Amino acid sequence: MNESGVFESFITRTVECLNETSIEYCIVRAIAASYYGSVRSTEDLDVIINLENTDVKQIEHLVTCLRVKEIDLFKSDLVQGLQEKSHITAFDTRTYFY
């Protein structure tokens, strides 16, 4: 799989997990701009999620799904990001960034 195919796979796997957990989300920034015709070079996926740090069942489901799909995200990082209303970083273990 070429480099762009790996990134597309990362996006697909992430969206599959968000859909599976029924978490409302919105893809933003470069990927969203590219979708609407303003192509921007990027190697990350920016997503806004509608989730509270108290939604333990959905948090655990999301983290488990992502890990099964080889996306590294720690539950504690997700909870902290939600508490701070900040960003959360997850890494695709299939790429050279990991």
Tens digits of per-residue pLDDT, 64-97?
999 999 999 999 999 999 999 888 888 889 886 6
Q: Which two tokens stand for residue 39?
A: 């192509």
Interhelix angle for 3-20 vs 56-68, to 10°? Answer: 150
Helices (H) and strands (E) in the chain, counts: 4, 4
Which ranges of 2-89 does DSSP label H, i.e. alpha helix? 3-20, 30-35, 56-68, 75-84
Indicate if the pLDDT at residue 2 is higher than 60: no
Please, which residues bridge with residue 26 across strands? 48
Q: What is the pLDDT of residues 12-63, one digit of tens each?
A: 999 999 999 999 998 886 666 666 676 666 667 788 899 999 999 999 999 9
3-state secondary structure of 12: helix
| Confidence (pLDDT) at 86 | 87
| Confidence (pLDDT) at 98 | 57
**Rounded to an integer, what distance in angstroms lies between the CA atom of residue 50 and that of residue 97?**
27
pTM of the model: 0.81
Q: Which two tokens stand for residue 96?
A: 């050279």
Indicate if the pLDDT at residue 11 is higher than 80: yes
**Rounded to an integer, what distance in angstroms lies between the CA atom of residue 11 and that of residue 28?**
12
| Confidence (pLDDT) at 46 | 81
